Amino acid sequence: MTTIATINNKGINTMVINNAAAARMKVIAHRTGDITIAAAKAMQIELLKTKMTNGVAHFAFQKKDGSIREAFGTIQSNIASAKTNGNGISRECYNTTAFFDVEKGEWRCFRWETLLWVA
């Protein structure tokens, strides 16, 4: 676990996050230049991954062309296993999160800093 403390005009805020979220937060902060946005998005990704592990999650992210993509995705093996070969490098190594799009029936991914919301 990683503890992050920030100081603002209201005092010190402390947040305890796991190492994966801390790594995501560092990448997002580098890409956006804002540690507050990075912390919020890293926590959203943790929530999203938990929801996708347990079923199908509804979320949105901004695509490279600027359009908003609303998706229903999962990482549950019993749903996505037919389209998983188990070879290759994890999308996490590319600072993205992969998900099986249940509407398209294919794997997709998004850059961490582009996540907009998780329902």
Per-residue pLDDT of the chain (119 residues; tens, 9 = 90+): 555 545 566 666 655 678 888 899 999 999 999 998 999 999 999 999 999 999 999 999 999 999 999 999 999 878 766 666 666 667 777 789 999 999 999 889 999 999 999 99
pTM value?
Answer: 0.78
- Give the count of domains, the chain: 1
Residues with Cβ < 8 Å from 17, sequence gap 6 or more?
A: 1, 2, 4, 25, 39, 42, 43, 46
Q: What is the pLDDT of residue 89?
A: 66
User: In terms of Cα–Cα distance, which of 37, 3, 8 is closest to 22?
Assistant: 3
Neighbours of 31 (CB within 10 A): 16
DSSP state of 70: E
* Residues of the domain holding 39: 2-118
Q: How far apart are CA 74 and CA 106, in angstroms?
A: 11
